[in-house]
Amino acid sequence: MSGSSNITMMKKIVQQLRREAGINRVKVSQAAVDLQQFCLLNAHQDPLLTGMSSSNNPFRPQRVCSFL
């Protein structure tokens, strides 16, 4: 590696580290509370919890069409 390419690579690394340092972090405990609240508020819309009518289910087995 030449000196100029090494400097360019290091500048890119420093820029990336500066971007990452500027990201606002959320504590895991707060993220868990937020996720739990979201799940509880939206549980009535979750088809895994409430079930799905067979007419709206895109994964139901398709009927076989046969001609006699």
Structure tokens at 19: 């971007």
pLDDT in tens, 16-59: 999 999 999 999 999 999 999 999 999 998 878 887 777 777 77
Contact 47, 41 (CB under 8 A): no
Residues 39 and 51: their CA atoms lie apart, in Å, by 16
* Predicted model pTM: 0.49
What backbone phi and psi angles, to 5 degrees, belong to 21? -70, -25
Contacts of 49 (CB under 8 A, 6+ apart): 43
Contact 38, 30 (CB under 8 A): no
pLDDT score of 35: 95
